[in-house]
């Protein structure tokens, strides 16, 4: 696997990346950490432009992509609110994407509809990165999640990972479950029955021979996990607010529960958190979600560098 193999690639779903490609991205990300922290200044992407099209709210994903591009010497343009663009006048996604592709060298898109990033990739002659498509996929979040787990636990193989919360509508866990299965991790799906991991995600996992188990209480897995991956109940994806109210606040991890956890166990969350993690967890050594959010920068730097064919010694 060489850097140049990534040039021009679209990153739409984690399913399309091989283990070798994922490992190459993570290794490249490791070399980016000092630059992401501002300790070293480089400009391999000088003259390149990142175009961002965020049709759904975002804090970390958009800002860490922008930070990544700026840290590598590139520039950014785009929108974080479709209401201020011609989309509000009825422009189609295809036209918006075609236009953005002509103004930039790589596009990052987030949209409320599953499949939007795939469509964008079809209409863009520049590489497209999916920053979340509805309840579909969120591959770059998965890459930074894997990076965090590997850094903290030293490996991905055979680790016990509990994915907790909204496994039905949560795109982060759809991508992450697939990636972890590729690396032979043990997966515990912890959710109320109505929000369990959907069959269309579990099906391919079973075909891969993944080791999965379902639970409906956090207490059942607290002693056996290396990673607690908490997620927010995705209120905006519920067709009926009454249904949301039935499950809101169902799981809440606190410092007392963690007293029974393995010493090295880590608590992760793609953020934003609502009330899934009590603030008293923040001060424990298990809390990894803020470091995880920082890791978005080196991982996205690695991706931008690879897709755009940037040379580090340039």
- Residues near ligand NCD (CB under 6 A) are 60-61, 132, 138, 141, 171-172, 232, 270-271
Select 170 or 310, whichever has its Cβ closest to ligand NCD.
Answer: 170
H-only helix segments in the chain: 19-36, 60-71, 93-103, 116-123, 139-153, 171-182, 199-207, 241-247, 255-258, 289-308
Q: Which of residues 138 and 178 has its CB atom nearest to ligand NCD in the complex?
A: 138
Letter string b/e over residues 87-107, b meaning 16 or more CB atoms within 10 A of that residue's CB: beeeeebeebbebbbeebbbb
Q: Whose Cβ is closer to ligand NCD: residue 60's or residue 71's?
A: 60
Element (H, E) at 78: strand 75-79
Centre a 10 Å sphere on the Cβ of residue 19 and count the other Cβ atoms it contains.
Answer: 12
- Least distance from C-beta 26 to ligand NCD, angstroms? 18
Of 108 and 261, the one with the shorter C-beta distance to ligand NCD is 108
- Least separation in angstroms between CB 174 and ligand NCD: 10
Distance CA 130, CA 140 (A): 8
Q: How far is the CB of 82 from ligand NCD (least distance, A)?
A: 16
Query: C-beta of 179: minimal distance to ligand NCD in Å?
Result: 15
The DSSP 8-state label assigned to residue 129 in this structure reads E
**Nearest approach, Cβ of 292 to ligand NCD (angstroms)?**
9
Nearest Cα to Cα of residue 84 among 54, 117, 121: 54
- C-beta of 298 vs 310, nearer to ligand NCD: 298
Side-chain-side CA neighbours of residue 212 (13 Å): 23
User: Least CB distance from residue 172 to ligand NCD, whole Å?
Assistant: 5
* Minimum distance from residue 274 beta carbon to ligand NCD (Å): 9
CB-CB contact of 163 with 177 (8 Å): yes
The least CB distance from residue 135 to ligand NCD, in Å, is 9
**Taking a C-beta distance cutoff of 8 angstroms, is the pair 191, 165 a contact?**
yes
| Pick 141 or 186: Cβ nearer ligand NCD | 141
**Nearer CB in complex with ligand NCD: 7/274:** 274
* CA 307 – CA 3 distance, rounded (Å): 9
Q: Distance of alpha carbon 86 from its chain centroid, rounded?
A: 28
The string over 110-131, giving b where at least 16 C-beta atoms fall within 10 Å of a residue's C-beta and e elsewhere, is bbeeeebbbbbbebbebbbbbb
Which CB atom, from 214 or from 237, has the smaller least distance to ligand NCD? 237
In terms of CB distance, is 42 or 288 closer to ligand NCD? Answer: 288
CB of 47 to ligand NCD, least distance (A): 28
Q: Is 249 left (phi over 0), alpha (psi -120 to 50) or beta?
A: left
């Amino acid at each position: 696997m060489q850097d140049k193999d990534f040039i021009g690639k679209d990153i739409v779903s984690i399913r399309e990346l091989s283990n070798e490609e994922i490992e190459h991205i993570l290794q490249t990300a490791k070399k980016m950490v000092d630059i992401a922290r501002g300790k070293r200044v480089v400009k391999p992407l000088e003259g390149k432009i990142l175009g961002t099209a965020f049709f759904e709210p975002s804090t970390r994903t958009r800002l860490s992509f922008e930070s990544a591009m700026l840290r590598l010497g590139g520039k950014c343009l785009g929108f974080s609110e479709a209401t201020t663009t011609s989309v509000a006048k009825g422009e189609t996604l295809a036209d918006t994407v075609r236009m953005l592709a002509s103004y930039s060298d790589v596009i990052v898109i987030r949209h409320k509809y599953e499949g939007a990033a795939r469509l964008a990739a079809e209409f863009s002659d520049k590489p497209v990165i999916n920053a979340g498509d509805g309840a579909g996929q969120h591959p770059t979040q998965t890459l930074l999640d894997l990076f965090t787990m590997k850094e903290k636990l030293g490996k991905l193989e055979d680790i016990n990972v509990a994915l907790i919360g909204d496994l039905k509508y949560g795109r982060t866990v759809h991508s992450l479950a697939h990636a972890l299965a590729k690396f032979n991790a043990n997966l515990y799906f912890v959710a109320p029955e109505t929000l369990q991991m959907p069959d269309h995600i579990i099906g391919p996992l079973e075909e891969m021979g993944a080791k999965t188990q379902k639970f409906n209480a956090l207490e059942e897995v607290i002693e056996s996990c290396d990673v607690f991956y908490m997620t927010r109940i995705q209120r905006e994806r519920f067709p009926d607010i009454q249904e949301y109210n039935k499950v809101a606040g169902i799981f809440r991890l606190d410092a007392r529960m963690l007293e029974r956890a393995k010493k090295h166990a880590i608590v992760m969350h793609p953020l934003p958190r609502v009330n899934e993690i009590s603030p008293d967890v923040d001060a424990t050594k298990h809390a990894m979600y803020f470091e995880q959010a920082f890791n978005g920068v080196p991982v996205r730097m690695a991706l931008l560098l690879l897709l755009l064919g940037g040379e580090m010694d340039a």
